[in-house]
Amino acid sequence: MKTQLFKKDFITTQDWSVDELQTMIDVGLKLKADFAMGAPQDHILRAKTLYMLFFEESTRTRNSFETGMTQLGGHAIYLTPKATQVGHGENARDTGKVLGSYGNAIAVRDCRTGIGQKYLYEMAKHAPVPIYSMQDDVDHPNQAMADLMTMQELFGRNLRGRKFVISWTYAPKYVRPLSVPQSLLMLMPRFGLDVTLVYPKGYHLMPEIMEIARKNAEAAGVKLEETHDMDAAFADADFLYPKSWGPIMVTEEEAEVEAMAAQHEDWRVTQERMKLAKKHAVYMHCMPIDRGHEADDEVIDGPQSVIYQQAENRLHIQKALMALTMGGRW
């Protein structure tokens, strides 16, 4: 267990070692168990403050961070560019230095392509407190960690040799960022999983992220495969993570995005597709789900679905992150 994490930024899982990431999961599982038993936790971050700056709206991310701070005895403050001087052009340096002098951590959600993660790292250069990514254009580290925590709960800590499938699915209009598939692609090989990435042509991920993922897989001695055949990818899988993302490496123009997506309406998860995987395989999704397009209700609400467990674990993994990096009192 690596516990020397005070004031450590969490912008991408790549900046943390496997042991450090496992520590976060172990602490998250303890906090989850204590919460279920009604054990008091409001002493851990008593009187500490988290600033949450959202460039985009959120359901699970905002509420899990804000609720987590409350349960740990601290306070979370919700900010938007319009409600701050960020909307009038104040830069990341000034915002980070000032908020960092008031509170104990700053979390930012910024999915602007080519801007988001750079903004986070720029703030981290100058802020005296840890900076967390609540999702950016490159990575969604807290989501990926909640997913990994869920997988360890279900199948144990040793996941080596299990097949994890990241699949594109159809959804009309909304251009979802690449951060979720990219976060999974980088993280899962480091924990011994064989990863298959499947998508239609035009929906490829950032080349630099693909290179990081390949190096991670090589270092861990696992497989990383790409294919354009959804059924072949699902075959013999242990974990199925089908979700939509935009053709951001090709275009973000709404009309072009819709036209591209309309060619692949059959990229949907059905019960028949689920049967291609192993009998114990689980269906995963970060939510929100475009029901009837990304997957059928009978899959989403079926016995193989673990989506609500994943969503719940966002709360506990983020509580672990905050406790470890903000100087929690145990």
- Taken in order of first residue, the domains within the chain and their CATH numbers are 13-140+314-325 (3.40.50.1370), 143-310 (3.40.50.1370)
pLDDT at 1: 78
- CB neighbour class for 163 (10 Å; exposed up to 12, middle 13-18, buried from 19): buried
Entry pTM:
0.97
pLDDT at 3 over 90: no
pLDDT over threshold 90, residue 267:
yes
Give tens-digit pLDDT for 130-189: 999 999 999 999 999 999 999 999 999 999 999 999 999 999 877 789 999 999 999 999
Q: Yes or no: say if 258 and 284 are a contact pair by the CB < 8 Å rule.
A: no
- What DSSP assignment string belongs to 55-66? SS--SHHHHHHH
What's the pLDDT at 44? 98
Place of tokens 């509580």: 319
Tell me 111's DSSP state: -
Q: Which of 107, 15, 123, 108 is nearest to 69 (CA)?
A: 107
- CA–CA dist 326, 27 (Å, integer): 14
Note the pLDDT of residue 76. Answer: 98
Question: What is the rounded CA–CA span in Å between residue 118 and residue 155?
Answer: 36
Nearest residue to 10 via CA among 98, 100, 139, 103: 139
Task: Specify the pLDDT at position 213.
Answer: 98
> Could you tell me if 302 and 275 are in contact, meaning their C-beta atoms sit under 8 angstroms apart?
no
**pLDDT at 248 (0 to 100):** 95
For residue 216, is pLDDT > 90? yes
**CB burial class (10 A; 0-12, 13-18, 19+) of residue 202?**
middle
- pLDDT at position 204, please? 98
Count CB atoms within 10 A of the CB of residue 206.
17
Mean pLDDT to the nearest integer, 7-14: 98
Cα distances from 163 to residues 224, 277, 280, 306, in angstroms, run 10, 10, 12, 16
To the nearest whole number, what is the mean pLDDT of the chain? 97
> What pLDDT, on the 0 to 100 scale, is given for residue 140?
98
Strands 105-110 and 49-54, by their bridges, are: parallel
pLDDT in tens, 100-118: 999 999 999 999 999 999 9
Task: Provide the pLDDT for residue 322.
Answer: 98
